[in-house]
Amino acid sequence: MEILDVAFHRASLATPHGQTKPERDRRRAELKIVRAGATVVRHLRLESRRFLKPPLTSFERTLVIERFGEGTLDRALARVRRAEERIRGLQHEAERSTRRLHGPEMLGDAVRSYYGRLSSFVREVDPDLLRLREVDRFLAGRPKVNPDQPTLVVAGFPNVGKSSLVGRLSTAHPKVADYPFTTLSIALGHADVGFDRLQVVDTPGVLGRARRANPAEAEAEAAVRGAATVVVFLLDPTGTGGHTLEEQEQLLERWRTELPNLPILPVETKSDLLRRETDRLQVSSVTGEGVAELQRRIRELVKPKGELPPMEEALVESPPEIEDLPTPPPKRGRRARSG
Ligand SMILES: Nc1nc2c(ncn2[C@@H]2O[C@H](COP(=O)(O)OP(=O)(O)OP(=O)(O)O)[C@@H](O)[C@H]2O)c(=O)[nH]1
Ligand SMILES: [Mg+2]
């Protein structure tokens, strides 16, 4: 418990002032109590601060929940906060009690017993501190997704070609390989969609089993649920990915049911290997076929809301002024209400 070593060392350096030896003995005991307690409390604060100031984004929270389980982080933070309060209480109590004590022996005993209780509080909260550090390391290894920018998440079964497509669509250069779970954590690239910078997130494959088995899949689920403005659900109809189209479609249906408000665009890939009758857009990351059309559809889906009011709305809102319209007529996208 390094922190206790640091706290006790700092406390031992206390140099009390005072006219008489009894005064200095008492002051020394007080200083030890205050310094040791304050050092530990400051340490606990720092360990929690990364999650509180600034607070985690909603996506980071989703990532942490998918990866570590609901409530894990909040419980650890709450226990650390409680430990802080208890240590502060302990410190005040010990400070008060030294006022009633006399002589270096009694004061020394009081400090020792305080140190003992302080140590046991710190030991109690140690697993929570380890957990906080684990979550912190996990988040530090993930790209920062800006919640204020539109975000395209490319998701699907393992080995279907998600990373290849992300490489085509964005600035990212994810690793591509012919085996499942090449991608183990989310990666971020950017694309220009004309009016905005689009964040493009590559995800690990998801097998869509009811009970998820691996952390990589959990991470992809988190990206779909917590970061996406739009999802491209990539299906591999060729069988070279290792899974049937039906299996992949089950996951697509599950997400559509669970996330009714999220635009999910199903796209079939590897069209250079297999062309088939389908209503879905077909693309190839090898030849680039269909990619321009995919970009057009993505632009449609992430278009900033309110930029182009629907025609009916514009007409209903402004019928009386229609005749007063100045010439030339207003540009598309502007309200017809002016003058
Ligand atoms: N012929 C052909 N092969 C493709 C296409 N897209 C991807 N591949 C190949 O499919 C394999 C998997 O591609 P990745 O892009 O790594 O697939 P992924 O979905 O990211 O895989 P995981 O990260 O493991 O889930 C690689 O061998 C790619 O070269 C495509 O459009 N046509
Ligand atoms: Mg990949």
Q: Is the CB–ligand 1 distance for residue 98 below 6 Å?
A: no
> Any idea where the domains of the chain sit in the sequence?
2-140, 151-302
**pLDDT score, position 172:** 94
Report which of 283, 286, 280 is spatially closest to residue 271, judged by C-alpha positions. 283
Report CA(173)–ligand 2 centroid distance (Å): 10
Q: Is the CB–ligand 1 distance for residue 176 below 6 Å?
A: yes
What is the number of other CB atoms lying within 10 angstroms of the CB of residue 192?
11
Whether the CB-CB separation of 204 and 215 falls below 8 Å is answered with no
Report CA(64)–ligand 2 centroid distance (Å): 21
Total number of residues shown for the chain:
339
Q: Which residues pair with 202 in a beta bridge?
A: 154, 187
Does residue 338 have a pLDDT over 90?
Answer: no
Report CA(296)–ligand 1 centroid distance (Å): 22
**CA end-to-end span of the chain:** 73
Condensed to tens digits (0 to 9), the pLDDT of residues 106-140 reads: 999 999 999 999 999 999 999 999 999 999 999 99
Report CA(154)–ligand 2 centroid distance (Å): 10
* Euclidean distance between CA atoms 16 and 98, whole angstroms: 15
Condensed to tens digits (0 to 9), the pLDDT of residues 27-49 reads: 999 999 999 999 999 999 999 99
234 — pLDDT class (breaks 50, 70, 90) = very high
* Euclidean distance between CA atoms 28 and 15, whole angstroms: 7
What is the number of other CB atoms lying within 10 angstroms of the CB of residue 330?
13
Q: Is the CB–ligand 1 distance for residue 286 below 6 Å?
A: yes
Write out the CATH class of domain 151-302.
alpha beta
**pLDDT score, position 193:** 85
**Mutual angle of helices 72-98 and 58-68, in 10-degree steps:** 100
Residue type, 143: P
Q: Is the CB–ligand 1 distance for residue 269 below 6 Å?
A: yes
Residue 101 per-residue DSSP state: -
Atom of ligand 1 nearest to the CA of 156: 19
Choose which residue among 153, 154, 163, 164 to substitute to test ligand 1 binding: the one with the highest number of ligand atoms within 8 A of its C-beta. Answer: 164
Q: Which residues pair with 197 in a beta bridge?
A: 192
**pLDDT score, position 1:** 62
Q: Which residues pair with 282 in a beta bridge?
A: 268
Residue type, 327: T
Report which of 181, 263, 166 is spatially closest to residue 218, judged by C-alpha positions. 181
Report CA(256)–ligand 2 centroid distance (Å): 22
Tell me the average pLDDT across 225-234: 96
Does residue 71 have a pLDDT over 90?
Answer: yes
Quickly name the fold that domain 2-140 has: Four Helix Bundle (Hemerythrin (Met), subunit A) (1.20.120)
